[in-house]
């Protein structure tokens, strides 16, 4: 499963990239709006750090505008994936961008039917927003499983991104289900690397070492 950082903060992306685990990045208008500077410049900085897919979302709500913006965004760098919101206008835009050879990420999908339509239209990636689905009292990972079965049944070329991840257990379930990608906030990635027993073990080893007065002579 690929791990993507769900952030537009270049410092966070560089920090995660240094760990050797980062496969891509997702941004959205809310994340871009938090960062100072021109949005295109921000995306250029991100694509200079990350060689894998970087999702950049359109702002237009009509197909023609999405296509125009998507074409411009795709021109920023070869690894840009244009993020298109689900809907009738979004499906129109996905189809045209797909025909132009531009990869797309269909976002804000909350049902298997939406994912099916996006995949049929030519989306490179479809999403399952598990955290937001859980918030409504439903089971976000039932949707993940339903979409994966659907993609496999009909050999559709779209890959599934698990989005709206709230905690490390969501990542565990994503990998267990066989999701292609999990896009994860920085704080959750940091929590994944931590465990109370790991911290206790390190402290115990260091205490024993210091008590014995040992040192490496290199």
| pTM attached to this predicted model | 0.96
pLDDT of 218 > 90? The answer is no
In angstroms, the Cα distances linking 158 to 20, 100, 148 are: 25, 16, 10
pLDDT tens profile 123-161 = 999 999 999 999 999 999 999 999 999 999 999 999 999
pLDDT tens profile 56-106 = 999 999 999 999 999 999 999 999 999 999 999 999 999 999 999 999 999
In angstroms, the Cα distances linking 26 to 29, 36, 145, 162 are: 11, 17, 22, 11
What's residue 194's pLDDT? Answer: 96
What's residue 108's pLDDT? Answer: 97
pLDDT tens profile 11-58 = 999 999 999 999 999 999 999 999 999 999 999 999 999 999 999 999
Largest CA distance in the chain: 71
- Torsion angle of the four alpha carbons 140, 143, 145, 146, in this order, in degrees rounded to the nearest 10: 170
SS3 per residue for 183-195: EECHHHHHHHCCC
Q: Could you give the domains of the chain?
A: 2-212 (3.20.20.70)
pLDDT tens profile 112-133 = 999 999 999 999 999 999 999 9
Spot the catalytic one: 51, 68, 83, 214: 83
Per-residue confidence band for 217, with pLDDT thresholds at 50, 70 and 90: confident
Active site residue 211: no
Neighbours of 198 (CB within 10 A): 10
pLDDT tens profile 173-198 = 999 999 999 999 999 999 999 999 99
What's residue 49's pLDDT? Answer: 97
């Amino acid at each position: 499963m690929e791990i993507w950082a769900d952030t537009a903060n270049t410092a966070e992306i560089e920090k995660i990239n240094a760990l050797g685990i980062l496969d891509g990045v997702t941004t959205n208008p809310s994340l871009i709006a938090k960062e100072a500077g021109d949005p295109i410049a921000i995306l250029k900085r991100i694509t200079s750090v990350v060689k894998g897919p970087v999702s950049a979302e359109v702002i237009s709500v009509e197909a023609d505008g999405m296509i125009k913006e998507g074409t411009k965004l795709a021109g920023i760098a070869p690894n840009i994936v244009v993020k298109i919101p689900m809907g009738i206008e979004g499906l129109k835009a996905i189809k045209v961008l797909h025909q132009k050879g531009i990869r797309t990420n269909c976002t804000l999908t909350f049902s298997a039917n939406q994912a099916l339509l996006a995949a049929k239209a030519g989306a490179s990636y479809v999403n399952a927003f598990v955290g937001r689905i859980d918030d409504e009292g439903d089971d976000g990972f039932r949707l993940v499983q339903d979409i994966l079965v659907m993609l496999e049944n009909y050999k559709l070329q779209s890959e599934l991104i698990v989005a709206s991840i709230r905690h490390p257990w969501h990542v565990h379930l994503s990998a267990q289900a066989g999701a292609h990608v999990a896009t994860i906030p920085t704080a959750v990635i940091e929590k994944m690397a931590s465990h109370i027993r790991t911290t206790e073990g390190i402290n115990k080893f260091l205490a024993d070492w210091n008590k014995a007065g040992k040192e490496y002579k290199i």
